[in-house]
Amino acid sequence: MKLTHQRAVWLMVAVTLMWSIAGVVTRQLEAARSFEVTFWRSFFTALSLLLILPLWRGPAAVWRQLRRAPAALWWSGLCWSGMFTSFMLALTLTSVAGVLVISSLNPLFTALLARVFLRQRVARHTWLAIVLAGLGTVWMFGSQLEGGRWQGMALALFVPLTAAINWIVVQQAHAKGVDVDLVPSVLVGGVISALATLPLALPLQATTHDIGLLALLGLVQLAIPCTLLVVCARVLKAPELSLLAQLEILFGIVLVWLGAGEKPGVAVLQGGALVLLALLMNEWLVWKKKR
């Protein structure tokens, strides 16, 4: 699938729009809660990729790739499972806006871990972005303490943390000459997440309506966009991908506001604006420097 730069940008916008439906769809559930929500979404993500990958690359190629997969791919899959699980659990405990903002901290977590494990230098503007984003996060946490919704915000922190660990794993593998294909690792992550959350989800209480919505999330919100992201990454540079990925926050907040009537609190908007400003500033400077 060959893309021009312009088409890759628009495809990435579509990817962020698909990612952003998680909050509004979750708010339409009737009976499924907590671990059951996570189980069904991860189950349908894995099932969707088990259908998409053989059609895309051929059944023999997919199974051969999994049989010969390096250890890094399985570690990457474990990181994906952590992202899947913590994101959905956080959505059931706190506001969609808060979860989306916290989840977007991935580039800054990655910069910190790269400094520790890969000895990569962190630019001054990235340190400034980390400080500003930290202040915004603390401000949002403070607003959630009274309502007891801070647990969801704390769980959401595992999303950028595991995403950053995933990046470190993949980079270390590449440094050793090992290529890690992220689409099969997403499949592995879905399987691990589903197996890990199933015992905690019992007894299953989801209605047919709930299962239909969670199947939609597994296919449209994860399997398809994660596959398209790999295609976009062949054309777009990492800073461009990071900048465009921030659209998920805007789309997600608007969709849950219009579709579920969940208006973000003032403190979440204020803290989120500070976090988003820090991220956009950092990614724009990185993009400008690379150009």
Q: What is the pLDDT of residue 290?
A: 65
What's the token pair of residue 95?
């506001």
Distance of alpha carbon 52 from alpha carbon 62, whole angstroms? 10
| C-alpha distances in Å from residue 84, one per residue of 114, 155, 156, 255, 272 | 22, 11, 10, 20, 22
Q: What is the pLDDT of residue 252?
A: 87
Q: What is the pLDDT of residue 145?
A: 59
Q: Which amino acid is residue 130, in one-letter code?
A: I
Phi, psi of 96 (to 5 degrees): -60, -40
Q: What is the pLDDT of residue 260?
A: 86
Number of folded domains that form the chain: 1
Which residue ranges of the chain lie beneath pLDDT 50? Answer: none
Q: Which of 288, 246, 234, 289 is nearest to 5 (CA)?
A: 234
Distance of alpha carbon 230 from alpha carbon 246, whole angstroms? 17
Distance of alpha carbon 201 from alpha carbon 213, whole angstroms? 17
Block residue for tokens 């959350």? 197
Give this prediction's pTM.
0.85
What's the token pair of residue 109?
């977590």
For the purposes of burial, counting CB atoms within 10 Å of the CB of 226, is it exposed (0-12), middle (13-18) or buried (19 or more)? buried
Contacts of 36 (CB under 8 A, 6+ apart): 197, 201, 204, 205, 206
Block residue for tokens 């998920």? 248
Can you give the residue range of the structural domain that contains 30?
A: 5-290
Contact 133, 278 (CB under 8 A): yes
